[in-house]
Structure 1
Amino acid sequence: MTLAPPASALVRLSMSRGRGLGSGWAPAALVCALAAAAFLWCGVSWRDLAIFAAYAGLGLVLPGTLLWRALAGGGRSMAEDLAAGLAMGYAVEVLAYIPARAAGRPLLVLVAPVAVVAAFSCVPRLRRHWRGPALSERVPPWCAWLLAGIVAFLIVWSAVHLYGVPVRAAYVDMPYHLALVGELRHHMPPALPVVLGEPLPYHWFVYAELAATSWVTGIEPLTLVYGLGTLPMAAATVVLVAVLGRRAGGSWGAGAAAAGVTYFLFSPELVLGVVFSSRSMFTVWASPTQTFGALLFAAVMTVLLAPRVRWAALVVLLAVLGGAKATYLPLLLAGLALVVAVRWAVQRRVPWRWLSAAGLALGFLVFAHVVLYGGAAQGTALDPFATMRALWGPRAPIAVLAVLTVVHLFCLVCVWGGAAGLGRRALEPPLLLMLGVGAAGIGAVVLLGHPAQSQLYFLEGARPYLSIAAVCGMLAARPVPWARAACLAGLGAAGALLVSAAGFGGGRLARVVLPYAVLVVAAVVAWWLLRRRGPLLAVVALLIGYALPTSVRVMAAHVTPEERRPRLIPKGALEAGRWLRGHSSPGDVVATDLHCLHPRWRVCDSRHFHVSAFSERRVLVEGWAYAESTLSRAAGHRSYLAVPYADRQRLAANDAAFLTPTAENVRRLAETYGVRWLFTGIRPELDGHARLRFRNATTSIYQLR
């Protein structure tokens, strides 16, 4: 019996010449069951879970995989096809939602997946993509279980630190992400919803994706942002990192090792309180933009490292990558520039394939910077040693900062030192590309600065590709028996623990530098003693050992419940915001006197976003911490949180209506700024100047006459 698409869509997509993933389905099914259990335990309804899974499968994976096979030629394994297909599905969804939302018909986003499925069902030349190409390999069962374990760790981590945390006590940026989803649900082009009239020079495509999902499924944006939305992105990224490692390293063992290093190996922290971070990939929900960008970038790298570049697929993915996380485009451009320069020098001819890809990347980078972000830098500037200065204070001498930078680079070598074993393999374009991406990520941390230390996201973006290069280098170097490597890694871990526990006297700099100096000396001695017995891998094993104690501690912290967090959002705020959303229009403007998360602080922590987040309405002035007008003026302040709001006159007029309410003050908000609603605490003095429409124990909402 033959099942016709799309009824048998997922069944047929999972087959290749009559074969499926075999035992690879068991770990996938177990991970799905774990995710479902975690979401249900944390309050997600069966309805939302089922509808989200159906939309992800039929609306994203199905059309995305068909397009991936048609435009990119498909992959070597079913896991690659489905993961890259999800990335392609997201890209098409975003490109479809932008004009649909601009036309005022957001549900027209469904035209894209329906048209794709219909075309691949009706056009004879496209029907073959339902079965896909003859896949050359399966993911080995042991590798499938290992990748499933990484995804399971992501689920447990998210359940402990987000899914199971009350909305009122969640990570401080979560209301900001929710506010942006609300903005993209109702407006195109978007603006900053928490400060009326401010542009949104931020990576907003992931919020368009979540808004589209909310419209199609009817699932609350709160459920998507605080739960369901980003987990499929993170899971597919794990698979694509392993796929890229397998391509570069020649085996699934290399792919599994690359994924393990990417997610579980961290630079050694020998002195508490001084973090030389190699960045973590565990930003699944804390930074949806980074998670979305990581998946799209992995798909871009998969296209570029294929034997033949499929330009149509590359154009689609790059078009969305620029708006998903623009930091990936400079990384890609740096990697492609290195490939072009080296291949040109080695081959004495123009490498047109890589030069064309670099031209595309540059074009989309310029488009994103000029059109999507309006030329704004969001506070990012050329500021050498800014990362070190954030640890040691703005007045630290340049010599001290240089020494700390060297220590930081040594810490990165402990994680990715295996890349030194590449030898002549470093001249191969795939590894050149990864090394160029990694060098750009490290260089950005050293040379760039941002008020909120966002330059570190460049290093996080490069982390998988440095890990792949390190694993390939270890495979290319002179082999060392695994028993000896394990012993050296154990000795390194013991040495790191002893040095960390011993402590050193002297000044602050000496207490930081001397422990690392001891480890450097130990590594040099190990190289000298083993110089005739695979010295490179021996030293790399020792360096990895240095990083193991910190890695274990970090991983344990990720799955350890935190102490009770302060509840920064009032108890009735969500109920009030939902009421306002249901009784107002998307174009209505709200005014509030709620600006500071911590009213008792000496400075105003203006990361206050829950009014806009819960109401899905634009606010005259709520929290201005992430506004371009704030970040662009943060250079002369100790913290961007100490930067006052740029428009003092507007803020004064806004707050006067609440602090000294008079008919004139309230009327000014309505006539000058178009305010229709007031969202505040319990202020009976406003009752005579505006119409009270809602009140609970903590919040009042007034409608202006």
Structure 2
Amino acid sequence: MRDLAAFGAYAGIGVALPGTLLWRALAGGGRSAAEDVAAGLALGYAVEVLAYIPARAAGVPLLVLVPHMIVIGTFIAVPGLRRHWRGDVAKERMPGWCAWALAGVVGYLITWSTLHLYRVPIAGAYVDMPYHLALVGEIKNHLPPTLPTVLGERLSYHWFVYAEMAATSWVTGIEPTTLVYRLSTLPMMAAMVVLVAVIGRRLGGRWGAGVAAVGVTYFLFGPVLQEGVVFPSRSMFTAWASPTQTFGALLFAPVVLLLAGRRRGWVVLALLLLALTGAKATFLPLLLAGLVLVLVVRGLRREWAVPAVITMVCLLVAHLVVFGRGAQGMAVAPFATMRALWGVVAGVRMPELASVSVGPLVVLTVVHLFCLACVWGGVAGLGARVLDPPVLLLVGIGLAGIGAVVLLGHPADSQLYFLESARPYLSIAAVCGVLAARRQPLVLVGCMVVLGAGAAVVASAVEVSGGAVVVPYLVLGVGALVLWRRGFVLAVVALLAGYGVPASVREVVGHVMPDEERRERLIPKGALEAGRWLREHSSPGDVVATDLHCRFPGWRLCDSRHFWVSGFSERRVLVEGWGYAESTQSRTELFVTSYLGVPFADPARLAANDAVFRAPSTENVRHLARKYGVKWLFTGINPELGEFARLRFRNATSSVYQLAGR
């Protein structure tokens, strides 16, 4: 209860309040109080992160509070600014039914979080959660940051959300574990729902358009043409698994909101874009693509050229400063997404997958685009409205997201985050297209949805092989072509959406069904206790060595996504897990080998590290201490180490040793 109260107070008073005041003063505010608070929360996060970085670098992390205190004090002291506390009394009020609808979506997301995260023990949570925790610990104690699980390796990663969590931990005293696994992304998720609705309302002209945009964004997915084979349209349900995506999406939404309105708010725009440099790598390229499309189609205009220049500068800052020119394995690799999918469809494995011909990949790409059209086919109804610059911006963002999925490749399929980042804006554009083509018989539109859903059910029920599964779609496709030629665009869009209804219902219901899956305990029961003991009895600059590298020690292939030693101890480890290191991702050959099969980049270091645990001796322990500055050893039960290092902590599963003379 104490953590909830502290978190709520800080998120509300320390972040959202000053952000809302700045949003109203510098950006002119929005059309509703909900818009002001949601956009203000995003702006507050941006200010917080940009303040925490120099504060932590100076060794005084609590200085992060200074900008917020200055903002609140200034808006109290200056008479001309006091009006921003209550906002514009003439603002449009969100209708009650709309507020309840959005509250229902937020409630759904909380229910999903409760069932699939809160009820799950930390030891059985998603594989990346300890990685997020380790990065929070790193940025809580060090700037500039390095990869905490590989001593000395540059952190070429979007890490600003971890700076936000670290700042929150410093101010509130809440454990990073609680923030990562329970609290931090909740307000981000809620504010994102509101902002999608607000942008939809602004471009669609009514609150119903905003609610519809939220519905498409969160609950409409492409059809499943073959069980087990999913043509990705992505979802917004990575909120906990990828806090970087959640944080970046929230910061990006008010940028689009500003660009979609008449008031630019250049200072606010610059702050948000600067925060996006390290929030998530996908958003700035998408924005630049959308702005370039507007400039090409509508001509060189200041209100669009200036944001394009700012975005380009921020993109260069991200590439050179945040990522250090690293790409984390992302590469130009046309049809990489479809190549991975072909491996599932045809049962082809690496390295044979790398030599698959282009023919089937092109076919799968066409099918994938068809599945995306089932979600966002409404864009076809925009007609002449597509030339409206704000709508054109959304279309450009969407096309860039789809293009990235087709043209880029990554060892862990991270190119799909481009499509997820574009999802809200494709959804808003699709809703605007439906509204533009709405003067068509509603009965016909409803029948098309039912026919499309029926075709999808029939296709999934018929046990056939090969291309026969698409027969129901082809039959109705002929009718759709006739309707299209007669100008019934909305009816065709409804038919396409109908194709995705059964899969969407299964997906939506599945997210709020109790998860009965038994998760294997991959983190020992006493690991958290041992890690926290080490944190309390060591200094942030101390280096730890461990022989824990592989999530599944018995496997022939080492899954090196092992991060909980660093995560629980908040200490840098000589070598723990290297699966997400730039030195690993950059050496991975797409479709030749998995990045999980790439060995550690420095074999000599790994050998010296592991020798201490496998064959401890005075010489190899001294070597580790002198060459790498190791002060602590974290392992399981290894009594032989007691002859060469001092045992300081032990429970049923974990031991912590301190090197002699330390």
Scaled by the length of structure 2, the TM-score of the pair is 0.96
What secondary structure does 2:634 align onto?
strand
Q: C-alpha distance in 1, partners of 2:534/2:438?
A: 67
Q: C-alpha distance in 2, partners of 1:530/1:617?
A: 62
Q: How does 1:205-604 map to 2 (within 5 A)?
A: 205-344=160-299, 350-393=300-343, 394=353, 395-505=355-465, 511=466, 513-516=467-470, 518-528=472-482, 532=486, 535-562=488-515, 563-604=517-558
What secondary structure does 2:65 align onto?
helix
Q: C-alpha distance in 2, partners of 1:436/1:542?
A: 25
Q: C-alpha distance in 1, partners of 2:117/2:237?
A: 12
What secondary structure does 2:278 align onto?
helix
Contact 2:636 2:654 in 1 (8 A): yes
Q: C-alpha distance in 2, partners of 1:291/1:53?
A: 19
Q: C-alpha distance in 2, partners of 1:650/1:216?
A: 37
What amino acid maps onto 2:453 in structure 1? A
Shift in CA distance, 285/650, structure 1 to aligned 2, threshold 3 Å: same
What amino acid maps onto 2:322 in structure 1? L
What secondary structure does 2:631 align onto?
strand
Contact 1:489 1:544 in 2 (8 A): yes
What secondary structure does 1:677 align onto?
strand
Q: C-alpha distance in 1, partners of 2:312/2:388?
A: 22
Instruction: Calculate percent identity across the aligned residue pairs.
Output: 68
Contact 1:527 1:535 in 2 (8 A): no
What amino acid maps onto 2:498 in structure 1? G
What amino acid maps onto 1:635 in structure 2? E
Contact 2:648 2:657 in 1 (8 A): yes
Contact 1:84 1:236 in 2 (8 A): yes
Shift in CA distance, 529/456, structure 1 to aligned 2, threshold 3 Å: closer
1:367-389 deviation digits (Å, cap 9, x = unpaired): 11101110000000000010011
Paired position in structure 1 for 2:118: 163
What secondary structure does 1:590 align onto?
strand
What amino acid maps onto 2:278 in structure 1? G
In the TM superposition, residue 504 of structure 1 has moved relative to its aligned partner by 2.8
In the TM superposition, residue 521 of structure 1 has moved relative to its aligned partner by 4.0
Q: Which moved more, 1:480-489 or 1:690-699?
A: 480-489
| 642, 645, 659: which one aligns with 2:597 | 642
Paired position in structure 2 for 1:629: 583
Q: How does 1:651-666 map to 2 (within 5 A)?
A: 651-666=606-621
What secondary structure does 2:589 align onto?
helix
Q: C-alpha distance in 1, partners of 2:428/2:146?
A: 38
Paired position in structure 2 for 1:94: 49
Q: C-alpha distance in 1, partners of 2:483/2:37?
A: 48
1:594-631 deviation digits (Å, cap 9, x = unpaired): 00001122200000000000000000000000000000
1:249-296 deviation digits (Å, cap 9, x = unpaired): 100010100000000000001201211010000111100000000000
| 90, 93, 97: which one aligns with 1:142 | 97
What amino acid maps onto 2:323 in structure 1? Y
Q: C-alpha distance in 2, partners of 1:654/1:478?
A: 67
1:682-701 deviation digits (Å, cap 9, x = unpaired): 00011100000000001010
Paired position in structure 2 for 1:203: 158
1:437-472 deviation digits (Å, cap 9, x = unpaired): 000000000000000000000000000000001000
Q: C-alpha distance in 1, partners of 2:164/2:370?
A: 39
In the TM superposition, residue 516 of structure 1 has moved relative to its aligned partner by 3.6
| 64, 71, 79: which one aligns with 2:34 | 79
What secondary structure does 1:276 align onto?
coil
Q: C-alpha distance in 2, partners of 1:203/1:94?
A: 12
| 551, 561, 568: which one aligns with 1:607 | 561
Structure 1, unaligned runs of 5 or more:
1-45, 345-349, 506-510
Contact 1:407 1:516 in 2 (8 A): no
CA RMSD of superposed structures (Å): 1.2
What amino acid maps onto 2:569 in structure 1? S
1:16-35 deviation digits (Å, cap 9, x = unpaired): xxxxxxxxxxxxxxxxxxxx
In the TM superposition, residue 478 of structure 1 has moved relative to its aligned partner by 4.6
What amino acid maps onto 2:120 in structure 1? V
What secondary structure does 2:561 align onto?
coil
Contact 2:234 2:416 in 1 (8 A): yes
Paired position in structure 2 for 1:28: none
In the TM superposition, residue 473 of structure 1 has moved relative to its aligned partner by 0.4
1:317-375 deviation digits (Å, cap 9, x = unpaired): 0000111012100000000000000001xxxxx21211111011000000111011100
Count of aligned residue pairs for this structure pair: 648
Q: C-alpha distance in 2, partners of 1:297/1:387?
A: 25
Q: C-alpha distance in 2, partners of 1:301/1:246?
A: 13
What amino acid maps onto 1:623 in structure 2? G
Q: C-alpha distance in 1, partners of 2:22/2:626?
A: 51
1:609-662 deviation digits (Å, cap 9, x = unpaired): 000000000000000000000000011642111111010000000000000101
Structure 2, unaligned runs of 5 or more:
344-352
Contact 1:695 1:701 in 2 (8 A): yes
1:498-545 deviation digits (Å, cap 9, x = unpaired): 01211333xxxxx2x54346414413313415754x521111111111
What secondary structure does 1:691 align onto?
strand
What amino acid maps onto 1:523 in structure 2? G
Q: C-alpha distance in 2, partners of 1:94/1:646?
A: 32
Paired position in structure 1 for 2:626: 671
What secondary structure does 1:702 align onto?
strand
What amino acid maps onto 1:389 in structure 2? R
Q: How does 1:101-116 map to 2 (within 5 A)?
A: 101-116=56-71
In the TM superposition, residue 84 of structure 1 has moved relative to its aligned partner by 0.2
What amino acid maps onto 1:362 in structure 2? M
In the TM superposition, residue 555 of structure 1 has moved relative to its aligned partner by 1.2
What secondary structure does 1:323 align onto?
coil
What secondary structure does 2:565 align onto?
helix
Shift in CA distance, 520/332, structure 1 to aligned 2, threshold 3 Å: farther
What amino acid maps onto 2:324 in structure 1? G
Paired position in structure 2 for 1:29: none
What secondary structure does 2:30 align onto?
coil
Q: C-alpha distance in 2, partners of 1:516/1:624?
A: 43
| 635, 657, 661: which one aligns with 1:702 | 657
| 98, 112, 127: which one aligns with 1:172 | 127
In the TM superposition, residue 590 of structure 1 has moved relative to its aligned partner by 0.2
1:201-232 deviation digits (Å, cap 9, x = unpaired): 11100000000000000100000000010110
What amino acid maps onto 1:515 in structure 2? V
Contact 2:28 2:263 in 1 (8 A): no
Q: C-alpha distance in 1, partners of 2:378/2:48?
A: 39
Contact 1:527 1:538 in 2 (8 A): no
